[in-house]
């Protein structure tokens, strides 16, 4: 099952990039996020410790309310994207905007990884 989820995580962004398949990608994205919420809810209700390595071992943590708080805004954005149903080709965007968005996303992921590993970093990486 994990392999299927990983495959979807690679296929859905490709679907979002192509005009003819972007709506299928939007539905796939929303479905995947709702599935993640369901899994997190099951983990919380059943009090099962499930390890979440969403970004590899760098940000290992347990599924719980923190995970849920990160998923809810993503679902709101996915619903908004599906509702708006507008497609803009990545090739039509000014190249500086594309580079800026890429670096902003990279910066957010870096800040998240650093925050998750702050205790280890304060102890000298041990």
pTM exceeds cut of 0.85: no
Mean pLDDT by 10 residues, the chain (126 residues): 83 90 91 89 84 62 79 88 80 83 86 76 66
- Asked if 71 and 102 sit in the same domain, the reply is no
Residues 111, 49 within the same domain:
no
> For residue 26, with 0-12 CB atoms within 10 Å meaning exposed, 13-18 middle and 19 or more buried, which class applies?
buried
Residues 54 and 66 in one domain: yes
How do residues 17-28 score in pLDDT, each as one tens digit? 888 998 999 999
- Residue 123, CA atoms < 13 Å, CB-side half-sphere: 5
Residues 97 and 66 in one domain: no
Q: Are residues 72 and 108 in the same domain?
A: no
Could you say which DSSP state residue 64 is in? S
- Do 31 and 65 lie in one domain? The reply is yes
Do 7 and 68 fall into the same domain? Answer: yes
Q: How many CB atoms lie within 10 A of CB 102?
A: 10
Q: Which two tokens stand for residue 117?
A: 């590993």
* 79-95 residue pLDDT tens: 988 888 777 777 777 88
* Whether 126 and 85 share a structural domain: no
Domain shared by 59 and 116, yes or no: no
Q: 72: domain range?
A: 2-91
Number of domains in the chain: 2
CB distance 61 to 52 below 8 Å: yes
List the beta strands (DSSP E) in the chain. Answer: 51-52, 54-57, 61-62
Q: Which position has the token pair 């599924």?
A: 63
Task: Return d(Cα 82, Cα 24) in angstroms, integer.
Answer: 10
């Amino acid at each position: 099952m994990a392999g299927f989820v990983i495959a979807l995580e690679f296929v859905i962004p490709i679907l979002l990039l192509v005009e003819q398949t972007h709506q299928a990608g939007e539905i796939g994205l929303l479905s995947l996020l709702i599935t993640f919420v369901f899994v997190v809810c099951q983990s919380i209700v059943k009090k099962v410790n499930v390890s979440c390595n969403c970004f590899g071992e760098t940000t290992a943590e347990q599924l719980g309310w923190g995970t849920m708080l990160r998923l809810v805004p993503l679902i709101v954005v996915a619903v908004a994207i599906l509702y708006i149903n507008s497609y803009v080709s990545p090739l039509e965007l000014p190249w500086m905007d594309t580079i800026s968005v890429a670096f902003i996303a990279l910066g957010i992921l870096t800040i998240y990884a650093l925050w998750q590993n702050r205790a280890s970093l304060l102890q000298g990486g041990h």
